[in-house]
Chain A
Amino acid sequence: MIAEAGLAALWIAAALSLLQLCLGALGLRFGTLNQPARPEPVEGLSSSPTAENKDRASTSSARTEGEVSDSLLSTVRPIAVAQAVLVAISFLCLILLFLRTDLSVALVAANSHAAKPWLYKFAGTWGNHEGSMLLWVAVLGIAGGAVALFERKLPQRTLIATLAAQAAIGLGFYAFLLFASNPFERLNPAPMQGQGLNPLLQDPGLAFHPPTLYFGYVGISIAFSFAVGALVTRDVGAAFARAMRPWILAAWIFLTLGIVAGSYWAYYELGWGGWWFWDPVENASLMPWLAATALLHSVTVLATRDALRAWTVMLAVVAFSMSMVGTFLVRSGILTSVHAFAVDPERGFFILILLTLYIGGALTLFGLRVGTVREGATFEPVSREGALVANNLLLSAILGIVLVGTLYPLGVEAVTGEKMSVGPPYFNSAAGPIALVLVAVMAAGPLIKWRRDKAREVLNRVAVPVLISALALFALILFAPGIGIFPLLGLVLAAGTAAASLAPLWKRNLRRTPLFTWGMVIAHLGIAVSLAGMASETAFTKETLVAARVGDTVTVGPWSVRFDAVEPIAGPNWTAIQAKLTARRGDGEPFVLEPQARMFTSPPTETSEAAIATRLGGQLYTVLGKGDMRGRWQLRLWWKPFVTLIWLGGVLIALGGLLSLIGRLRRERKAKPQEAWA
C-alpha cells in the first residue's frame, strides 16, 4: 500500500504543478492589461529612508494591478504549498519502503538488503537513480512551496511568474520520474533477498552529502525561476535583487556544505589520499557553485547599486543550467565515474531533452526581453562594484574552463568516436592561475569603497596584507626551499588574503558591525584557510608505500609506524582484515591506527577503510593493501600537513554564508513595519 500511496502522491503533485503552471500563466495574461509602471528604487549603501519610501510607492502601485491576478495569486500560493507537501509525502513513502526493506518494490530489491544497518537502509533511499531523482524533485517542490509560503517582498505578478516557472521545471522532472524512472514499481513475485547497496556508499556520508548537495543544487532553481519571473514581468531592479538574495544565499550555503562533505567523504572512503579528483561528477557540483558564487556577488551589486541587471539575470539562468547539466552528466550514465550508477541511454535522452527545453527556453526569453531590461546604474572602475565585476568575470572564466574540460571528451567521442579523458593536469594548469588571481582580487575587493575610490588609497589599505604576503614568501624560500610554484604562490596568497579578509573589521566596533559584514569576513577568511590547506597538502605531503611484515617499523615524514598485527574481524554485514599500527612522532605519545580491508557479501565487494589520525598540524592517513601470502602486507602511509584546513575553510565559507543570511533577514524584519501595510 505504501508504494501505491507514494505513487499516487507523486501523480497528484505532478497534476498540481500543471495546474500551478496554467493558473500562473492565465493570471499573467489577464494581468498584462493593466500592467503597472514600476518606479525603480535605488538603495544606497545603507537602506536610506528615501529608498524605503520609493519601495512603498512601488508596492502600493502593485496593489492596483487588478483583482484577477489577485485572486489567482491566492490560489497559486496554496497549490504550490500543497504540491510541496505531496511530493514530500511521496518521498517519505519511499524512505518507509526502504526502512522496511519491502522487497516487492523493484527499487528496494535492487538496492537494499535486510541485513544492513538502519542508517544505510534510510540513506540508501537516495543511493540509486530513481530514489535520488525523487529526492531531486522533492527538493524542487519544497523549494517552490517555501517561496510560496515565505516570499513577501516580491511584487505579486513577479511572484506568480516565479511560481509558474518553478512549476514548469517541476513538471518536466515529474514526467521523467513517472514515465522513465518510477521508483515505486512493484516486482511480482518478490525476491527472497535484496541485492544490497554498493558498499562504497555504505557510509554515514551518504546520509548527509546527497541531501545537502541537492538542497543547494536544486535550490538554485529558485534563482532561475525568479529570473524567469522577472523577465516575464520586465521587473529587474534592486527590489527584485533584495528579494532573490536570501534564497540564493540559502542554496549556496547548502551547495558549499555538500561539496565540502563530498570532498571529505571521497578523501577518507576511496583510500587514494586525494581530496579532489576533478572527476566529472565533482565538476558537476563545482560548476553550479562557481556560477552561484558569481550570482551571489552580482546580486549584491544589483541590490546595493542597481547595476548589472541583465548580467545578474543571465547568471541566474546559467547557475541553474549548470545544475541541470550536472544532473544530466550524473544521471544519464555517460561518464566514466563511480557515480554513474546505471547505464541507460533512454533516460539520458529524456534528461537531455528537458535540459534543452529549459535552458533553451530561458535563454530565448532572455534574448527577447533583455532589450527591455532598462540600463542600470553605471559605476567607476576603481570601486567595490568594479572589483565585484572582476570577480564575476574571473569566476565565469573558471566556469568556462571546467565546463570545456568536462564536456570536451564527450564531444570528441560523439563526433570522432575517439575516447579520451581529461584529468587533473588540465584543470590545474588552466584553472589554477585564474583561481589565484581571483583570490587576490577577492582579498582586495572588500577594502575598496562603493561608488568611487582612489587607487592610491586602496594601495595604502592593502599595504599590510601585501607585507604579510612578502614575509610569508621570504619565510617559505628560507625554510621550505624547493616546493612547487603553485603551492608556493598559494601559501603566500593565503597569508595575505587571511590578513586582508580580516581588515574590514579593523578599527570598527565589533558589536555594532552588521552580521552580514561578519559573514563576508568569515567566508573570505575561509577561502584563505582552505587555500592554505590545499597548498600545504600539495607541497608537504609525505608518502610511503611498502610491503611490511608484522613487527616492522615504517617511517613517513616525522612519524614512525610499527606494524603490530593483522587480524580478522566482523561487522554487521561485512568481514574484514584489520591491521594494528602503532604510530609515534619522536618521543610523543604512541597511538593505535586500525585500517581495514572489508569484504561485503551483498553485493560481493571489497572496500578498504583507511584509518586516519587527526593531529594538530595534519593528518596521518593509513591504508591496508593486499597480503602476498608470504607474510607481507602492503601498507600505504601518508603524512599530510594541515590538510584539515581544506575542509575547515569550507565550513567557514558556509558559516559566513549563514551569518550573512541571518544578517540580511534581520535587517529585512526591521524594515518590515514600513512595508507591511502595502
Chain B
Amino acid sequence: MKAKNQRLTLLILAIAAVLAAVLLGMSALKDQAAYFYAPADVARKGVPLDQAVRIGGMVKDGSIQRAADGVTIDFVVGDETDAVIPVRFTGIVPNLFQENSGVVAEGRFLPSGVFVASEILAKHDENYMPPELAGARHKTETLE
C-alpha cells in the first residue's frame, strides 16, 4: 500500500471508529439514560412508565413505614410544591437516609404511581445534597 493511501485509510478508520462509537453511544443513551424526576415534574408531566428513572426530593416527615418482612419500606418524597411521590424500597437503606432529609432513588414507576426503587443512592454526609436537588436551598447549605 502506498504511504499516502495508508495514512488516509487509517485516518478514515479512526474517524469512523470514533464516530460509530459516539453514534452507538447516543442511540444507547436514548434507551438507557435515566431521567431525573422531582415530585413537581411527575405532577406536571405524568408518570413515565417502561423506563428506568431517578427521582429525588425530601423524605416527608413521619412517612417511613416498615413492612412486616423487615427489609421493605414505604415512604413519601416531596418537594417545595405540594406534589409527592410514594416510594417502595426493598433493601438496606444508606446510613443517612432519614425523614426530613434529601434522597435520590433509582427505579421504575408502577402504573399506580408508586415508585419501586431498585437503589437508594448514598448520601455523603449531613451537608451533602445531590446537585440534582437543585435550587437555592442546596447552594446555601453546602460548605459556604
Contacts and interface: CB of A to CB of B under 8 A. Distances in A.
B70 A634 contact: yes
A401 B36 contact: no
Interface in A370-428: 375, 378-380, 389, 393-394, 396-398, 400-401, 404-405, 408-409, 418-423, 425-426
A338 B124 contact: yes
Contact of A396 (B17, B128, B132): B17
Contact of A605 (B25, B54, B66, B95): B95
Interface in B6-27: 6-7, 10, 13-14, 17-18, 20-22, 24-26
A102 to B, nearest CB: 20
Given A400-B18, A401-B21, A545-B92, A200 B124 contact: yes
A383 to B, nearest CB: 12
Contacts of B71: 545-547, 625, 634
Interface string A518-553: 000000000000000000000000000111000000
Nearest to B90: A545
A311 B126 contact: no
Contacts of B1: 378, 380
B66 A343 contact: no
A39 interface: no
A604 interface: yes
B35 A418 contact: yes
Contacts of A245: none
Contacts of A404: 21-22, 25-26, 29
B130 interface: yes
Contacts of B17: 393-394, 396-397
B83 interface: no
Instruction: Report which residue of B3, B93, B125 has the largest number of chain A beta carbons within 10 angstroms of its beta carbon.
Output: B125
Contact of B25 (A342, A380, A401): A401
Contact of B10 (A311, A405, A420): A311
Contacts of A396: 14, 17-18, 21
A420 B90 contact: no
Interface in B85-112: 90-93, 95-96, 104, 106
B81 interface: no
Contacts of B137: none
A175 B95 CA distance: 39
Nearest to B13: A393
A454 B7 CA distance: 22
A342 B144 CA distance: 9
Contacts of B22: 400-401, 404
A628 interface: yes
A198 interface: yes
A420 B32 contact: no
B43 interface: no
Contacts of B139: 343
B134 interface: yes
Interface string A191-216: 00000001010000000000000000
Nearest to A629: B66
B32 A423 contact: yes
Contact of A623 (B18, B36, B92): B92
Contacts of B34: 420-423
A336 interface: yes
Given A394-B17, A425-B52, A430 B28 contact: yes
Contacts, number: 148
A632 interface: yes
A375 B7 contact: yes
B20 to A, nearest CB: 7
Contact of A636 (B7, B13, B92): B92
A259 B21 CA distance: 24
A669 B128 CA distance: 53
Contacts of A409: 33
A632 B70 contact: yes
A628 B73 CA distance: 11
B122 interface: yes
Interface string B55-99: 000000000001001110000000000000000001111011000
A156 interface: no
Contacts of B7: 375
A37 to B, nearest CB: 20
Nearest to B16: A393
A334 interface: yes
Interface string A608-644: 1000000000000001011010001010100000000
B131 interface: yes
Contacts of A272: 122
Given A380-B1, A545-B92, 5 more contacts: A270-B122, A378-B6, A422-B34, A429-B32, A626-B92
25 contacts: A198-B125, A343-B139, A375-B3, A375-B4, A379-B6, A393-B17, A396-B21, A397-B17, A397-B20, A397-B21, A400-B22, A401-B21, A404-B26, A409-B33, A419-B132, A423-B32, A423-B106, A426-B25, A430-B24, A545-B71, A608-B92, A625-B71, A625-B93, A634-B70, A634-B92
> Lowest 7 CB-CB distances: which A-B pairs, in order?
A547-B70, A625-B92, A397-B21, A606-B95, A426-B32, A419-B36, A400-B21
